[in-house]
């Protein structure tokens, strides 16, 4: 159990440090950055789908005594992320412009990202409670998802009026919520029976929603056949990484 705590905290700390990835791209021009994110989003789609269908869902059904309940938990995860996104979109549509140097959307983005990171941390924590290989696989999926996500947050903050250093600092502070989420999962999971039986399928549903609803539509915006082929290869690589990690079992 101590080993799982060490690995889980180490993994989520690494994920949190990705919030500082904007440092490496401050001097990168917009065109190069767009190409990097283009590939990373495709990789994230494959990794998220792969982790959900290769690791999380099989583990969920294996541990569950009711396939119907597990299926409902998966659907609940998808619907929960749908409701959260609807709420955030509604909030964004009702932002009122002000004369302040920092646009309110910047603070809203930080709040939403903190919640998102808390959930990611809980997902990583409960995955390590299932097994170390599942924890590693889930961490890889979160990493693939978080790199373009954190870069996007960084540039949203810059657009909202934050100076680059403040944007990096606040982005990192919101990322720390992932560590809090992991600790919560590890503490509750060791004392509450069937904790992982509920949260793992919820996480799977969340991953499926993020990949299918948020990331895949972004990929469809690219119509160039060659770039579409690159997208397919990157998605295949994401799934392949998840398959390779099953060798750790």
Give residues with Cβ within 8 angstroms of 86, minimum separation 6. Answer: none
The pLDDT assigned to 155 comes to: 75
Q: For 22-54, how does the pLDDT look when each residue is reduced to its tens digit (9 = 90+)?
A: 787 666 666 676 677 778 788 888 988 998 999
Two structure tokens written together for 4: 């799982």
How many degrees, rounded to 5, is the angle at CA 177 between CA 3 and CA 54? Answer: 60
| Token pair for 73 | 């938990």
User: How many CA atoms lie within 13 Å of 154's alpha carbon, on the beta-carbon side?
Assistant: 22
Q: How many CB atoms lie within 10 A of CB 89?
A: 10
User: CA 12 to CA 18: how far, in whole Å?
Assistant: 10
Give the pTM: 0.72
Dihedral of alpha carbons 5, 182, 37, 248, sign: positive
Q: What is the pLDDT of residues 102-123, one digit of tens each?
A: 666 677 778 778 877 888 898 8
Helical segments of 94-211, H only: 104-130, 132-160, 164-175, 177-189, 195-209
Please report, in angstroms and rounded to a whole number, the separation of the first and last CA atoms in the chain.
17
> In the predicted model, is pLDDT for residue 3 greater than 60?
yes
| Residue, of 129 and 72, whose pLDDT is higher | 72
Give the tens place of pLDDT for each residue, 190-199.
Answer: 666 567 788 8
Q: Is 234's pLDDT higher than 80?
A: yes
DSSP 96: P
Write out pLDDT tens, residues 207-224: 899 889 888 888 898 889
Tell me the pLDDT tens digit for each residue of 49-95: 998 999 889 988 988 889 999 999 999 989 988 887 787 677 655 55
Separation of alpha carbons 9 and 4, rounded Å: 8
What value does the mean pLDDT of the chain take?
82
């Amino acid at each position: 159990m101590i080993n799982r705590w060490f690995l889980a905290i180490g993994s989520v700390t690494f994920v949190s440090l990705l919030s500082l990835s904007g440092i490496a791209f401050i001097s990168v021009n917009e065109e190069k950055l767009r190409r990097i994110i283009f590939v990373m989003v495709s990789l994230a789609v494959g990794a998220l789908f792969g982790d959900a269908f290769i690791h999380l869902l099989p583990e969920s059904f294996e541990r569950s005594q009711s396939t119907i309940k597990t299926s409902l938990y998966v659907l609940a995860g998808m619907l929960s992320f749908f409701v959260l996104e609807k709420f955030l979109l509604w909030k964004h549509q009702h932002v009122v412009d002000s004369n302040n140097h920092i646009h309110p959307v910047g603070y809203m983005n930080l709040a939403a990202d903190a919640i998102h990171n808390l959930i990611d941390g809980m997902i990583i924590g409960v995955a390590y409670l299932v097994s170390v290989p599942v924890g590693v696989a889930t961490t890889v999926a979160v990493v693939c998802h978080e790199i373009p996500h954190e870069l996007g947050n960084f540039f949203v903050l810059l657009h909202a009026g934050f100076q680059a250093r403040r944007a990096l600092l606040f982005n990192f502070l919101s990322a720390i919520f992932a560590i809090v989420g992991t600790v919560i999962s590890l503490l509750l999971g060791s004392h509450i029976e069937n904790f992982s039986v509920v949260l793992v399928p919820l996480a799977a549903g969340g991953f499926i929603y993020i990949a299918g609803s948020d990331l895949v539509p972004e990929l469809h915006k690219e119509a160039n056949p060659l770039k579409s082929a690159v997208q397919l290869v990157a998605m295949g690589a994401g799934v392949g990484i998840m398959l390779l990690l099953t060798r750790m079992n």
